[in-house]
Amino acid sequence: MAKTGIILCNIGTPRSYQVKDVKEYLLTFLMDKDIISVPFLIRWLLVHGIIVPRRAPFSAGNYKKIWMIEGSPLWVYSRNFANKLQTELGSNYSIKLGMRYSEPSIENALKELESEQVESILLIPMFPQYAEATTGSILKEFNRAAKKLETQTPVKIFPTFFSNDYYTETTATITKETLADQSVDHYLFSFHGLPESHVRRNANCLVSPDCCLAVNACEKPCYKAQCHSSAAKIAKQLNLSQDQWSVSFQSRLGRGEWLKPSTDSILESLAKSGKKNIAVLCPSFVADCIETLEEIAIGGQETFSHAGGETLRMIPCLNEDPRWVKNFAVAVQNF
């Protein structure tokens, strides 16, 4: 019997790239009030009547571009990482995947661990930076499931790791190996975007253009500040000067104000300023997914090329890299 049960949590993914499956996934995802924070009736009308009917066919086409033989990249890499982490940690641990908006669900993962009668549970949101729309939503869903199942097993929550060496150093190493001796004019750190309203929930956030760069900004926790902290540390480990790198935010949804600058606008400005060859890192993701493989590697390259750039090299996420597995296992054991 395993002593510690682990639930590795991520957002989730459609079962297939068929429109009906993508529609089902988007409905579940976008109806979460932590994603679209408006009253339920307005959210229901927006999601069911406008957003999903328009977005599902387009998203299905994008998923099809990056779909792997075994399934969705996010699912494949998450499963492979879980299996390798299980091997690394050994029989004293039992590892399950728990997706927030798809199967295997967090509730089913908890059920399996309860049936194994583990002595304790470690919940690990696989997001380096904290956001209510990701880590926060996962914690709420786990609490709902634990209450429903009347879970009595002790539970610990693994902390965010936006500035931990096992995350930043492995990212820097993969970046160096991917680029080898290739010429790079600029490094762009593209993080998943958030509505500014989500960040402003923290008092004194976004009160000035550079408040997220303050020394103690990450203590709140502030998503934007943690993104800048991650980028700065990885850039330092890559020995980059300040003018060699910048930060942007991708994946905007809707008409509201989102974190700036947008990745699209930065890609255009870099190309127009004469940067011909750039590298793009996506440090808010630990596993490659539609946001990295389609939005950046395909769509980002198109945006960059149309503006006059030449080569955009997307750096792979941590995925199932052996060093990431080993270093993460040590972090789990030491927690």
pLDDT in tens, 32-54: 988 888 899 999 999 999 999 99
**Cβ partners under 8 Å of residue 12, min gap 6:** 25, 28, 29, 74, 99, 100, 101, 102, 103
DSSP assignments along 16-60, one per residue: SSSHHHHHHHHHHHHTSTTTS-S-HHHHHHHIIIIIHHHHHHHHH
Q: What is the pLDDT of residues 142-156, one digit of tens each?
A: 999 999 999 999 999
Rounded distance, CA 166 to CA 162, Å?
10
Cβ–Cβ < 8 Å for 260, 292: no
Distance CA(140)–CA(147), nearest Å, equals 11
Neighbours of 57 (CB within 10 A): 12
Number of helices (H), then strands (E), in the chain: 13, 8
- Would you state the pLDDT for residue 198? 81
135-193 tens-digit pLDDT:
999 999 999 999 999 999 999 999 999 999 999 999 999 999 999 989 999 999 999 99
Spatial distance between the Cα atoms of 19 and 28, rounded to a whole number of angstroms: 14
Residue 207 pLDDT > 70: no
The full set of domains in the chain, from first to last, is 4-161+322-334 (3.40.50.1400), 165-314 (3.40.50.1400)
Q: Read off the pLDDT band of 197 (50, 70, 90).
A: confident
Measure the CA–CA gap between 86 and 30, rounded to whole angstroms: 32
User: Can you give the length of the chain in residues?
Assistant: 335
pLDDT value of residue 252: 85
Residue 125 confidence (pLDDT) above 80: yes
Q: How much is the average pLDDT of 200-218?
A: 71
The pLDDT, as a whole number, for residue 231 is 98
